Copies of this chain bind each other. A is one copy, B any other.
Amino acid sequence: MAALDPDHYPVDPWRLVEARFEPAAAALGETLFAIGNGYLGMRANSSDGRDAHEHGTFINGLHETWPIRHAEHAYGFAEVGQTIVNAPDAKVIRLYVDDEPFDPGTAEFLEFEHSLDFRTGISRRAVVWRTPGGKRVRVVGTRMVSFVERHLAIITFEVELLDDAAPVTLSSQILNRQDAGDAGAGAPGTVDPRKAERLRERVLVPDGRWQEDGFSALGYRVANSGMTVAAMAHHTIETSDPIETEHSIGPDLAKDVFHIQAQPRSVIRLTKLVSYHTGSRAPVRELVDRCRRTIERAMHAGVDAEERRQREWLAAFWERSDVRVEHDDRLQQAIRWNLLQLAQASARADGLGIAAKGVTGSGYSGHYFWDGEIYALPFLVFTDPDAARNALRMRVRMLPAARRRARMLNEDGALFPWRSINGEEASAYYAAGTAQYHINADITYTIAKYVRATGDLQFLASGGIDVAVETARLWATLGFWRSSEAGDSFHIHGVTGPDEYTTVVNDNLFTNVMARFNLRYAARALDQLEREQPSDFALAVERLGIAPAEPEEWLRIADAIAIPYSEQLGVHPQDSHFLEREVWDLANTPEDRHPLLLHYHPLVIYRFQVLKQADVVLALLLQGQHFTAEQKRADFDYYDPLTTGDSTLSAVVQAIVAAEIGYQDLALEYLRNAVYVDLEDRHGNTADGVHVASVGGVWMALVN
């Protein structure tokens, strides 16, 4: 958790730079220098393709399914496991000089620079390598995943002998790492639930390979999910020296090998155009055709043109998204790195969700959580509404599965899965999964935010209203009425709020506050449609079978929903019995017992007042209009010392609320913490991928 060492990571407001090679930082670097566009992501694995924390090429939503085997099963437990697949790796370009391999793990570097340019989205590794035979060789590799052409990546590789002539071999590959290589995800026996599930059977079933005219392509069917994927590469080599080429292709490996009798000071330049296409059922053959069209279009335009379009795209991105800091280039660099991550996680998701790690790693199995809606989407709503709309359409598409899930849980309406890729609940631990019913309200909250910001009633009419209504219906059946002298009140029992260190509670404040919003918004959105688009309203009423009394009932529930409040302490309890718990002694909990979830049984943690992440305080942020300034301060004062920060979702929320109630220094401290979560690896697991929710929160904190 040391601050970035400027000798190792020099300050540069527009680039992240690593100025020397340090093996201990290699795993972290794979994530920090990863590139992606929300659809396709490439971890910054070195080009030799050997040692890595996790070799990773990820395509948003490309997943395998498997039956979840519960150690003790019960009715309604999640059944369909889903894990993002490691797509065929086209990053590999092996270099041999005098038949000696270029292996960064052991190589002697005379010069080294690894960089990620925020204005080009291009990562670049430039080194001077002294071979075991003593020859100096300049090696410069660049990678770009296009924001403009989402199926396109461009890899360049330059080799220049600085001393004597030597035979140089470049072996460019597409390798199925999922099955034939070391995917590197999750050590066996790991107990960290935040890692990806490891698949044991063959996942990518070869379904066609093809090599001609300088093109190589591998196609696969994903064994159980039935998805299809094709990866294609085309090579252009420029050299003035004599060259021989050979090509080979097998089920899991395509090779294009170039043997050059290289002369000193003669630059060999390899350009590898790469394309990926995926389908839910499309024939692989068709995907291969699409890959070829993508590459041929890029060949026709030229690499320079593609790079120019990328720069233009990013110029526009920074124009609308940049947050400038005066007199602190380090912070400026860090903030821009965070903002770029949001683009890389979401820009071209094009109707897919935003995974917890974006496309930078397999952490959390590539699943979509509420992180997308609550932490990442606000950025898109205000900087790229089309992308926001596309991401929300993912939830509209999940609605049939969410309706089935609600039935399984004995409720009306729809219940969105706590974690999922394909719409089926994949959380194997219901207490901190399925029980987080609040995801329903989180989704509708973000739909409301989008519609309010854009006025896009067409989205509302074409599916948004369905989500709002069906989520409202779930709350109406999940809760129940209770009468007392003080009047009727509506209660929601047996749910878990955002804080996963207290689970399955009654009247969780966050849940009830957000459910109240959900219920009111469903009614309001129907009103709005009726007024502004009556024919769409009529269609929705028919499609959803809405009785006239239904919205009234939602409003009645919303007005009566229980909002726990302790007159004695003057704070909102996190749930109706939260204050009866003992207070965890955080001050006397050794550093090496954090995060608590890895060192204490859930039963132990759940007995105490201790928070994994902001819960009441997040309600203060998202529904601030319902709380007075005094309440906000009292609640913040109460919960802040109980919050461990074991989740990266906390700091940004606490930063914003702290600022609002006037704790400027604390706000800045939390903000800095959030800004550097990944860059300084403050949770020790950035190697598994970027914390996308945290980077989204950084933007929220900056604009708040």
Binding site for B on A (CB under 8 A): 68-78, 81, 191, 193, 408-410, 427-431, 433-435, 480, 491, 493-494, 504, 506, 576-577, 580-582, 597-604, 606-607
Inter-chain contact A75/B599, CB cutoff 8 Å: yes
Whole-angstrom CA separation of A506 from B428 in the bound complex: 25
Contact residues in B for A504 (Cβ distance below 8 Å):
504, 603, 606
Inter-chain contact B603/A409, CB cutoff 8 Å: yes
Nearest CB in chain B: distance from A446 CB, A: 24
Instruction: Select from chain B the residue with minimum beta-carbon distance to A434.
Output: B603
Inter-chain contact A73/B606, CB cutoff 8 Å: no
Residue in B577, B601, B607 whose CB lies within 8 Å of A74: B601
Contact residues in B for A582 (Cβ distance below 8 Å):
480, 493
Contact residues in B for A599 (Cβ distance below 8 Å):
75
Nearest CB in chain B: distance from A593 CB, A: 10
Nearest CB in chain B: distance from A67 CB, A: 8
Inter-chain contact A72/B602, CB cutoff 8 Å: no
Contact residues in B for A77 (Cβ distance below 8 Å):
71, 601
Instruction: Select from chain B the residue with minimum beta-carbon distance to A599.
Output: B75
Instruction: Select from chain B the residue with minimum beta-carbon distance to A582.
Output: B480
Inter-chain contact B494/A603, CB cutoff 8 Å: yes
If A493-B581, A603-B435, A606-B494 touch, whether A72 touches B429 (CB-CB below 8 Å) is yes
Instruction: Select the residue from A68, A69, A74 with max chain B CB neighbours within 10 A.
Output: A74
Inter-chain contact B428/A603, CB cutoff 8 Å: no
Contact residues in B for A427 (Cβ distance below 8 Å):
72
Residue in B68, B409, B491 whose CB lies within 8 Å of A601: B409
Instruction: Select the residue from A433, A491, A504 with max chain B CB neighbours within 10 A.
Output: A504
If A577-B506, A582-B493, A606-B494 touch, whether A76 touches B429 (CB-CB below 8 Å) is no
Whole-angstrom CA separation of A71 from B434 in the bound complex: 14
If A69-B69, A577-B506, A582-B493 touch, whether A193 touches B603 (CB-CB below 8 Å) is no
Instruction: Select from chain B the residue with minimum beta-carbon distance to A435.
Output: B603
Instruction: Select from chain B the residue with minimum beta-carbon distance to A494.
Output: B607
- Chosen A-B contacts, 29 in total, with CB atoms closer than 8 Å, are A69-B71, A70-B70, A71-B77, A71-B428, A71-B429, A72-B427, A72-B428, A73-B193, A74-B191, A74-B193, A74-B429, A74-B597, A76-B600, A76-B601, A76-B603, A76-B604, A409-B601, A409-B603, A410-B604, A430-B601, A430-B603, A431-B431, A434-B603, A494-B604, A504-B504, A504-B606, A506-B577, A506-B580, A577-B577
Contact residues in B for A433 (Cβ distance below 8 Å):
72
Residue in B72, B430, B491, B581 whose CB lies within 8 Å of A193: B72
Residue in B71, B409, B577, B598 whose CB lies within 8 Å of A75: B598
The 9 closest A-B pairs by CB, nearest first: A76-B601, A71-B428, A72-B429, A72-B428, A494-B607, A410-B604, A493-B607, A73-B191, A68-B71
Whole-angstrom CA separation of A585 from B408 in the bound complex: 18
Instruction: Select from chain B the residue with minimum beta-carbon distance to A410.
Output: B604
Whole-angstrom CA separation of A493 from B607 in the bound complex: 6
Nearest CB in chain B: distance from A103 CB, A: 35
Whole-angstrom CA separation of A427 from B434 in the bound complex: 21
Contact residues in B for A581 (Cβ distance below 8 Å):
493
Nearest CB in chain B: distance from A84 CB, A: 17
Whole-angstrom CA separation of A444 from B620 in the bound complex: 49
Inter-chain contact A75/B191, CB cutoff 8 Å: yes
Instruction: Select from chain B the residue with minimum beta-carbon distance to A607.
Output: B494
Contact residues in B for A600 (Cβ distance below 8 Å):
75-76, 410
Nearest CB in chain B: distance from A686 CB, A: 22
Whole-angstrom CA separation of A448 from B491 in the bound complex: 44
Contact residues in B for A597 (Cβ distance below 8 Å):
74-75
Contact residues in B for A428 (Cβ distance below 8 Å):
70-72
With A71-B429, A494-B604, A576-B580 given, can you name 11 additional A-B contacts, CB distance below 8 Å? A75-B601, A75-B602, A76-B600, A76-B602, A77-B601, A434-B603, A491-B580, A494-B606, A504-B504, A504-B603, A506-B580
Whole-angstrom CA separation of A431 from B430 in the bound complex: 11
Contact residues in B for A408 (Cβ distance below 8 Å):
601
Instruction: Select from chain B the residue with minimum beta-carbon distance to A78.
Output: B71
Whole-angstrom CA separation of A582 from B490 in the bound complex: 12
Whole-angstrom CA separation of A433 from B408 in the bound complex: 24
Instruction: Select from chain B the residue with minimum beta-carbon distance to A496.
Output: B603
Contact residues in B for A78 (Cβ distance below 8 Å):
71
Whole-angstrom CA separation of A78 from B72 in the bound complex: 11
Whole-angstrom CA separation of A74 from B501 in the bound complex: 12
Instruction: Select from chain B the residue with minimum beta-carbon distance to A408.
Output: B601
Contact residues in B for A70 (Cβ distance below 8 Å):
70-71, 428
Nearest CB in chain B: distance from A612 CB, A: 12
Instruction: Select from chain B the residue with minimum beta-carbon distance to A68.
Output: B71
